[in-house]
Amino acid sequence: MANIRLRSIIIKLQDCLSNDDRERLHFLLGDDVPRRLQDNTTLSGTLSIMQSLFDRNKISEQDFTFLINVFEEIPCPHAVNLLAEYKQRIQTKLPNQPPEMPPLHDEVFEDQEDKSVSRTLLQQTNNCCNYQKNINSNNTNINPVISNVQNKNSLSSKCKEIQSYLYNFRINKHSLTIIILLILIFGTIILIYIIKMTDHNKSNSKLKYDYVLEEQQKKNNKTIQLLNEPILEKNQQANDQLTLPNKKKYNSLVIEGREFGSAHGTHFDDSTHPYFISSHYLNGILARDNDDDLESYQFYYSSSCDSQDMITSERHGNQNLSFKKDFQFDKNEKIQKVEGHYLNKTIVFSNGTNLTMPIITGLQFYTTKGHASPSYAGEEGVMFEEEYEGYTLWYVTGRSDEYIHQLQFYWYRTLDID
């Protein structure tokens, strides 16, 4: 067991060595170890080099100065300190220290570092007892009784001091363990408290943010509703005035109808179609929706001239996934009256904002021959209608994005066009 302690120190100092330290160590020992060990710079290779130094008597339990010098040359200060401390420790041991450790050592301490301290102290205790026995059996003094008494008193006092030190050391070790456990428990409690407070603050912040967002949405809806009320009231008043066919005479060639709805969305104008000319007139409708009873529209325009083909407007609104309804009047059949609805619809945008705005729906056309197109009405709102005696529908303008927010009809005097 003489080399076990030194080998233990060598194993510990392996943790201090980086890859560069191992390469420098192997290179420095090139003349003292076989070449095959020198090339293996892993942990296994370094331990094999240490074993080779033992085998070649370069180092031993009593003399490992060669190894200290090597680590000084690398340099690796931590390894040098470990070996120097161990060297100083074995030099301060008693000269008659027995090679074997007494059984009492294994019962005192469990950890390797503490075993070293207890081993030295217990060995001193046993040596005291051995000295006492030698004095009792081999004393050749002229006055053996006085000598024995003095030696016994001296050795007994020394043994008591050692035993007292061991007892105090054990008490200090247990006290330190208890203090560390208390620190760990207290730190854990503080950590749990901090985590809970952080979660609580996050929860409060989220609730506050949701509340502020909800209040802002309410304010937005209220503002939009206040802005739309005058428009809806104005349209309602105009509709009340036109409940019966408008009998007023107009002298202009074209009448610009009223604006039904609100000024949301992007403006469109069917008369800007590249093939639209003055002889075209609205003659049909293509309606689409997405199961929410709100339509998108395309309009068909026929021409009074036989040489002109029918054209189709761009789609107004983006409802196109569910179904479509297609209707056209006979050629030369003119529309003299329009009916529809506009209603306030709450729309949820992709960013989570809710806005309430007027949407046009439920258009229906009536011709001079008494025919009517199907009513594409879903959810009913405020009804509107428009008709001018002696005029028929020409084309449509308005505003739209995902839905149709506004429609305005243009009428022309029938006799002049004909």
More confident residue, 407 or 148: 407
d(CA 284, CA 367): 11
In degrees, rounded to 5, the angle at the alpha carbon of residue 22 between the alpha carbons of residues 16 and 26 is 140
Task: Please state, for a pLDDT cut of 70, what percent of the chain lies above it.
Answer: 74
pLDDT in tens, 10-59: 888 888 888 888 888 888 888 888 888 888 888 888 899 889 888 888 88
Helices 4-13 + 43-55 axis angle, to 10: 150
Q: Whole-model pTM? A: 0.43
Fold of the CATH domain 242-417: Vitelline Membrane Outer Layer Protein I, subunit A (2.100.10)
Question: CB 289: neighbour CB atoms within 10 A?
Answer: 21
- pLDDT category of residue 194 using cuts at 50, 70 and 90: very high
CA gap 317, 320 in Å, rounded: 9
- Domain extents for the chain? 4-174, 242-417
Taking the C-alpha atoms of residue 224 and residue 232, their distance in angstroms, rounded to an integer, is 12
Between these two residues, 325 and 237, which has the higher pLDDT value?
325
Q: How many CB atoms lie within 10 A of CB 146?
A: 10
Which is higher by pLDDT, 226 or 377? 226
SS3 205: helix
DSSP label at 1?
-
From the list 276, 272, 283, the residue with the least C-alpha distance to 336 is 283
- Please write the tens of the pLDDT for every residue from 349-365: 777 788 888 888 888 99
